[in-house]
Amino acid sequence: MTDALWYFGRGSGVVSLVLLSLVVALGVAARSGRTPFGLPRFAVSMLHRNVGLTAVVFLSGHVLSLLFDPYAQLRVFDLVVPFAGNYRPLWLGLGTVGLDLLAAIVVTSLLRRRIGASGWRAVHWLAYLCWPVALLHGLGTGTDRGTWWLWATAMSGAALVIAAVGWRLTPDFDRRTRRRVAARLLVSEGVR
């Protein structure tokens, strides 16, 4: 049973990391005037949300299984307060920071209508901090740290996110987005 928890904890951690990379890239794509593969924007947004929720499910599995795994000796406290654990405190603490940030992003997304768009957006920007912190935790904490396959998996996700962010920073991304907003305004004012 202990071995099963340990394997599940590692596997679900890797899946969570891959899904988080995908979520960040999809979140960037959903904001663009030209979506990847010509997908409709609502499809990219739905994919972003559903992959995000799936990441949360795997992440819950990750922390719960490792909480009951006797080797890391985690306490519930370590899931919330970073850098206080006994097991590789720095690397583990980065995971806790990632979890705290993700919790803030999920809660504010659920309360989006109540807190308004600007409050929601301000917290959602924390995703840009959450993802690298989670990446460092994944590369530095586990049994598989230093293995080629974990690095290859993490670096593929990193390449995807860096490409999406690079695309977001191009003037073309902004121009297309502005054109889309202007077109939407014209439609809402009944000009088109």
Q: Residue holding tokens 């990193």? A: 158
* Cα separation, 134 vs 57, whole angstroms: 16
Rule CB under 6 A: choose which of 22, 24, 56, 62 binds ligand HEM. Answer: 62
- Which residues, other chains included, contact 189 with Cβ-Cβ below 8 Å and sequence gap of 6+? none
Nearer to ligand HEM among residue 50 and residue 60 (C-beta): 60
Nearer to ligand HEM among residue 21 and residue 32 (C-beta): 21
Q: Does 72 bind ligand HEM (CB under 6 A)?
A: yes
Residue at shortest CB range from ligand HEM: 142
CB of 108 to ligand HEM, least distance (A): 16
- 131: closest CA among 40, 14, 17, 36? 17
Q: Hey, which bits of the chain come out as E strands?
A: none
Nearer to ligand HEM among residue 144 and residue 174 (C-beta): 144
User: For residue 154, what are its two tokens?
Assistant: 């993490």
* Cα separation, 26 vs 54, whole angstroms: 14
Q: Does 96 bind ligand HEM (CB under 6 A)?
A: yes
CA angle (1, 67, 12) in 5-degree steps: 75
Nearer to ligand HEM among residue 124 and residue 176 (C-beta): 124
Count residues binding ligand HEM (CB under 6 A): 32
Residue 25: strand, helix, or coil: helix
> Which residues here bind ligand HEM, judged by CB under 6 A?
6, 9-10, 13-14, 16-17, 20, 59, 62-63, 66, 72, 74, 78-79, 87, 92, 95-96, 98-99, 102, 134, 137-138, 141-145, 150
